[in-house]
Amino acid sequence: MKTSKSTLTVARMALRAARDSRPDYAKTKSRKKFTPPQLMACLVIKEFLQLDYRGTHVMLTGWSDLRRVIRLTKVPHFTTLCAAAKPLLGQAGTDATLDAVLDHCRQAKIRPKCSQQAAIDSTGLESRHVSADFTKRGGRHCNHEKRRYPKLSAICDTASHLILSAVIDRGPKPDPVEAKQTRHEALKHQRFSSLLGEAGYESEGFHGRCRDQLGIRSIIPTTGRGGPRADGKPRPVNGQYRQLMKQRFPKKTYGQRWQIETVFSLLQRNMGAALRARNYHRQIREIRLRILTHNLAILWRKYDLLYRATEIRDIEIVEIGDRWHLTVKKRKIMALDCDQQIGPGSHCLHHWR
């Protein structure tokens, strides 16, 4: 799945999703200097460009086009961005923004109302920028791989690579520890017919919960348990669904499970494998921000179409509220944000459905 490489496009998507998920001001007497959607867009750009808070402040100071897209009259200080990350990237705030992003994806026909297949898996993230060769050869850091690390358990849509839910914990831990919560969080955002998982999630209880209570077809390979028998015969497989997976395992359908590995690869290639935060709770907020940024980078495909024209005839531009409404021969064709420059000399128009 291709992701956007345009900073302005991702900033525009982030501002739009944040405005749909939260009000501009929490209280009547709130300071009118910056709005939470504007600060959320700044945080998304920080993660998209792999910057720190100071670097984001410097970038916004020198990039007038980005300030116009986010509708900033003043540049927020880096301490303002750091303080805004705690309330904006909490569990409730992240769920609301993720719902808004997924709703935009449904409107853009990137995802259906019910996904056919979803995949579940977990991965570990580096908590510091130390090479593997240094940890192996260095005496003081030789046991770095045995220490605890941030662990991300996620469910993604195999067709669009959108992340539907994420549970963040500390590893190493068995995958079934976060499986129930990850599945519960995903069902709050999106329904899916089949759930694909690796052998680490294989258990009769997980199959029974998915198939009997939730109506989800769980596809997980059955593995042998215990040591070999004294007589050399294989051990019997217990459980109705474990036996079903052992006898009639859908190999072709299960091949789509690798899409979750592609999602983890996209996260690490686009935003890095190591986290910049050092505190555990700040690491959680950074991972949540990466997930939102990943989904916003996918949203650009059909929601931001580029129109090129050498001549514009019989066109009428009317400003209603904070949006431009364009009509050609008395027929409305598109609506745009007022921060975009449009007119008879324009050669590109960003389309908002």
CATH number assigned to the domain comprising residue 202:
3.30.420
**What percent of the chain clears pLDDT 70, i.e. is strictly above it?**
80
Number of domains in the chain: 3
Sign, Cα dihedral of 80, 24, 89, 46: negative
In this structure, the answer to whether residues 74 and 162 fall within a common structural domain is no
Is 181 domain-assigned? yes
In this structure, the answer to whether residues 115 and 204 fall within a common structural domain is yes
For β-strands 331-337 and 348-351, DSSP reports them as: unpaired
- pLDDT tens figures, 243-297: 999 999 999 999 999 999 999 999 999 998 889 998 899 999 999 999 999 999 9
Is 248 domain-assigned? yes
Is 52 domain-assigned? yes
In this structure, the answer to whether residues 72 and 140 fall within a common structural domain is no
In this structure, the answer to whether residues 83 and 119 fall within a common structural domain is no
In this structure, the answer to whether residues 268 and 310 fall within a common structural domain is no
Is 282 domain-assigned? no
Tokens coding 319: 């400003």
Whether pLDDT at 88 is above 90: yes
Q: How confident is the model at residue 310 (pLDDT cuts 50, 70, 90)?
A: very low
- pLDDT tens figures, 200-239: 999 999 999 999 999 999 999 998 776 777 777 777 888 9
Whether pLDDT at 70 is above 60: yes
* Coil vs helix vs strand at 307: strand
Read out DSSP for 125-169? -BSS---HHHHHH-STTTTGGGS-EEEEEEEEETTT--EEEEEEE
- pLDDT tens figures, 97-155: 999 999 999 988 888 889 999 999 999 998 877 666 666 666 555 555 557 889 999 99
Domain boundary among 88, 121, 148: 88
In this structure, the answer to whether residues 13 and 48 fall within a common structural domain is yes
Amino acid identity, residue 137? R
Is 327 domain-assigned? yes
In this structure, the answer to whether residues 208 and 338 fall within a common structural domain is no
Is 100 domain-assigned? no
In this structure, the answer to whether residues 167 and 211 fall within a common structural domain is yes
In this structure, the answer to whether residues 56 and 123 fall within a common structural domain is no
Structural domain harbouring 323? 305-351
Is 11 domain-assigned? yes
Q: How far apart are CA 237 and CA 225, in angstroms?
A: 9
Tokens coding 60: 């916004």
In this structure, the answer to whether residues 323 and 209 fall within a common structural domain is no
CB 202 within 8 A of CB 223: yes
Within 10 A of 213 (CB to CB), how many other CB atoms are there? Answer: 8
Is 51 domain-assigned? yes
CB 54 within 8 A of CB 78: yes
Q: How far apart are CA 296 and CA 17, in angstroms?
A: 9
In this structure, the answer to whether residues 136 and 253 fall within a common structural domain is yes
Whether pLDDT at 190 is above 70: yes
In this structure, the answer to whether residues 238 and 309 fall within a common structural domain is no
- Lookup result for tokens 């593997």: 132
Q: Which of 150-164, 224-238, 324-338 has the highest mean pLDDT?
A: 150-164
CB 99 within 8 A of CB 43: no
Q: How far apart are CA 298 and CA 105, in angstroms?
A: 9
pLDDT for 122 equals 95
Q: Nearest Cα to 220, choosing from 235, 201, 243?
A: 201
* Coil vs helix vs strand at 205: helix
